[in-house]
Amino acid sequence: MVHRITLTLLLLALLAPQEARSQSAELEGLNAIFSGSVVMKLDRRQQLVIDLYDASGRFRQDVVAASSVDPATIHFSAEEDAIILGCVSVDARCFRKELFKSNSVRMTGRCNLPRPLEDTGGSATIEALRAFIEAHAATATETRSSGQRMK
């Protein structure tokens, strides 16, 4: 019995995709930059899930397909003191924002992330985000928005 469990676990570890391991390492690096105020992960559809936290806990969750984010639009806004991400298409609303305190969900064309305290101009964070988006945009699977039907 113990041998079957051990063999099963060994097979799962060997057959697990290498890509998933590298994605988690890249995301761990991004999460380390934000020091817990922002936590990023990939869901089962390979969409980027961004959880934002404040003193009272998680207050917002943004979900976006990595291929929908334009790496060229990632910039620092001094006025907002935030890192801004934008959609590939100017008219698109690729970010699904869920605001937990107001119990609302809306689609927007941009995502603002608080600037990490250690990154004064946001340049290190911007570089890490661009590298992640560029690496995963090609492999991300597009998902239908809630209003679209399969043909």
> What's the pLDDT tens digit per position in 4-55?
444 444 444 444 444 444 456 788 999 999 999 999 999 988 899 999 999 9
Q: Which residues, including other chains, have CB under 8 Å from residue 117's CB and lie 6 or more apart? A: 35
Of 21, 34, 63, the C-alpha closest to 126 is 34
What is the reported pLDDT for 139? 63
pTM of the model: 0.75
Summarize pLDDT for 51-82 with one digit per residue, the tens. Answer: 999 999 999 999 999 999 999 999 999 999 99
Q: Would you mind telling me the total number of residues written for the chain in this entry? A: 151
53 contacts 39 by C-beta, under 8 angstroms: yes
Which amino acid type is present at position 37? Answer: S
Question: Helix or strand or coil: residue 142?
Answer: coil
- Bridge partners of 86? 70, 110
Distance CA 101, CA 43 (A): 23
